Amino acid sequence: MHKKTAIITGSRRGIGLAILKALADAGYAVIMSGTAAAGESVAIVDELRSAGHEVRYIRCDISQKADREHIIESTIASYGRLDLLVNNAGMAPKVRMDILETSEDSFDQVLDVNLKGSFFMCQAAAKAMIALQDKGLADYTPRIVNIGSISSYASSTDRGEYCLSKAGLSMCTQLFADRLADFGIPVFEVRPGIILTDMTMPVREKYEKMITEGLTPIKRLGRPEDVADCVMALVGGQMDFATGQILNADGGFHLRRL
């Protein structure tokens, strides 16, 4: 019998890697994925394996149908099950531009990954999970977690395409939570705030100053592990009746304060 298995997209670094490590520590067989060639991930995979974790790297550009199908099919072929999809892969615009100047190329690129890719990863995983429910697998309670962003509701007019993609992803979570309820498959969203990753590093000083001045009740930048902790809170089974729930990993940014 294979252990519970999770696919974490965009998990070579940052938030995705923190989630992958947390799931591996909890006993999951974990599928690391990203757009890099397999050879570029050997070191981190070897490190995790040396710690006793069961991990495999599968290259996946979630904007590409063939890659989405390949990662799902390869995971099930190797492990016989898919218990969890964590939709973490995403990208920021390569160049921040005022929405009066945003190019169609940038818009298409960001939404192809963050929204279209994530939507169809949900679809592919959901179909596989529904089919696996008829296989009599032990302790099979599949779930999907989407990693959103406070940008789903907080305006950033120099990266409008990113905000729109994350707003769409929030509705994606609601749609799949609704549709998959009949199959007993909960779907959740974790909504990070300002997390110290490669994506936020260029504007770290700006955000640290804003946080110090009161932007968030908790006066520090978030860590990838803060997001991973929220994912772990959702996948243990205690939250299944709350399908569609959003956990804000944002230091309290979402609170309306006077």
* Sequence letter at residue 229: D
**Distance between CA atoms of residues 220 and 216, nearest Å:** 8
Catalytic (active site) residue 162: yes
Candidate list 28, 79, 162, 207, residue with the active-site label:
162
The angle at the Cα of 172, spanning 124 to 164, to the nearest 5 degrees, equals 125
**Distance between CA atoms of residues 174 and 100, nearest Å:** 30
Chain CA centroid to CA 246, Å: 13
**Distance between CA atoms of residues 68 and 120, nearest Å:** 8
Residue whose C-alpha is closest to residue 144's, from 197, 87, 213:
87
Chain CA centroid to CA 80, Å: 22
**Distance between CA atoms of residues 258 and 253, nearest Å:** 13
* Sequence letter at residue 79: Y
Q: Count how many Cα atoms sit within 13 Å of the Cα of residue 105 in the half-sphere of its side chain.
A: 3
* Sequence letter at residue 168: G
Q: Count how many Cα atoms sit within 13 Å of the Cα of residue 97 in the half-sphere of its side chain.
A: 14
100 token code pair: 């009066």
Catalytic annotation, residues: 162
